[in-house]
Amino acid sequence: MASMLSPNKNTSLLHAGYHHPLHRTWQAGTPINKDMLMFPIFVTDNDDVEEKIDTLPGQSRWGINLLVKFLTPLVANGLKSVIIFGVPANIKKDAVGSAAEDPNTPTIRALKVLSKAFPTLLLACDVCLCPYTSHGHCGVLREDGTIDNRASVQRLVDISMAYARAGCQMISPSDMMDGRIKAIKDALVEEGIAHKTSLMAYSAKFASGFYGPFRDACHSTPGSGDRKCYQLPPQARGLARRALVRDMNEGADVLMVKPGTPYLDILRDAREIAPDYPLSVYQVSGEYAMIWHAAKAGVFDLKTGVMESMDGFVRAGANFILTYYTPQILEWLKEDN
C-alpha cells in the first residue's frame, strides 16, 4: 500500500498525478450522476396554488394540480426519484394525527397523480406524524408530554400501509421512534407487498439546528418543547452507530444520515458499518439555505459550492443524496456533458 512506503524523492511528488484534466478524473473516484439524486417536494392540498417558502429560497409548496407541470421538465432532464412531504392545509389536526392516512391527504393524492403521470419515477414518501398532530411532535404524547413509543409506532404503521397501498415505492419514516422499522417491515410482509415496497430508514437523524426552513415549509414546529428526546444528540456518534445497526437488523433496505455536511464522519461510519447497503444522505434545508445565501453574497459560485458538497457526500460513502438542489444539478450535469 502507498501509505506503507517510505517517503523519498519519487513517492513524495504528487503533482504529475493530477496535472492533466484527465488525470484529475482518474483521481476523483465516483462522480455524481443523475441517478444519485432524490428531490424532496412539498405538496399542499391548496390544489391550484404555488406557495413560495421564504426561508427556503427557490422552493415552494405545490398544489396537487400543479405537480405534473412542475415536474415534467425535471423528469425530461433526468430526474429519477422524489420524496413527497405532505403539507395539509385543509385537514383537521388532532393529538394522534388521525388524518394522516385519509385518502384526501396531499401525500396520497400526490401518489396517485404522479404514478399515473410518471410511471418510471421512483416515489418515496416521508412518514411522520408531525404535520398532522395538533402538538407538532413526531409521535403520540402521554399525559406528561413524553412520547408514547408503542402508540406512535402503531400510527406510523397505519400511515405507511396507507401510503404503500396508494402506490408509494419507498416508505421513509423520519420520526425516530424505537422499533418502527421492524413494525413497518412486518406489516409490509403481512400485506404481501414487502417485495415491491422498500423501506428507507432515517437511521442517524440528529436533533439539528439546520432544520428551521423545513419546519417553516411543513408547518411542523412543535407547539411546545423540542425533539431532543427522540432525535439523536449532535455529539452522539455511538448512538448513531447503534441506531444504524438496529435498523439494519430490523429490516431496513436503505439507511440514511441526516443532516449531511456536519455529519460526514457519521456518513463514513455508516458506510463502514453497512458496506453492502444502499446509503443515503439528506442535505437538509439549513444546509441548502446556507449555501444559497453565501453564493448570493458573493462568497463563492453557487455551482462550485453545491457540487463540492455533493462530492463530499459521495466521497464519504453515500450512494444517493436528497437535496433541494436537484433541479440545478440536473441542469449542470447536462451542460457538462
Binding residues for 5-aminolevulinate are 215, 227, 285, 324
Q: Binding-site residues, please?
A: 128, 130, 138, 215, 227, 285, 324
For residues 81 and 322, give the distance between their C-alpha atoms in angstroms, rounded to a whole number. Answer: 9
* Nearest by Cα to 125 from 261, 334, 322: 322
Residue 141: helix, strand or coil by DSSP? Answer: strand
**Is residue 69 annotated as part of the catalytic site, yes or no?**
no
Q: Binding-site residues for Zn(2+), please?
A: 128, 130, 138
Burial code (b: 16+ CB inside 10 Å, e: under 16) for 245-261 equals ebbbebbbbbbbbbbbb
Q: Where are the beta strands (DSSP E) in the chain?
A: 37-44, 50-52, 60-63, 81-87, 122-127, 170-173, 198-205, 254-258, 279-283, 320-323
**Set of cell numbers at residue 320:** 444517493
> Which of these is catalytic: 80, 185, 205, 228?
205
For residues 240 and 206, give the distance between their C-alpha atoms in angstroms, rounded to a whole number. Answer: 8
Helix 149-166 to helix 106-117 angle (10° resolution) is 30
For residues 30 and 26, give the distance between their C-alpha atoms in angstroms, rounded to a whole number. Answer: 9
**Is residue 196 annotated as part of the catalytic site, yes or no?**
no
> Which of these is catalytic: 80, 116, 258, 296?
258
Residues 6+ apart with CB under 8 A from 33: 333
Residue 277: helix, strand or coil by DSSP? Answer: coil
Q: Put residue 217 in one of left, alpha, beta given phi > 0 → left and psi -120 to 50 → alpha.
A: alpha
**Set of cell numbers at residue 161:** 400501509
* Contact (CB, 8 A) for 268 and 316: yes
**Set of cell numbers at residue 106:** 396531499
For residues 280 and 243, give the distance between their C-alpha atoms in angstroms, rounded to a whole number. Answer: 15
Residues classed as catalytic: 205, 258
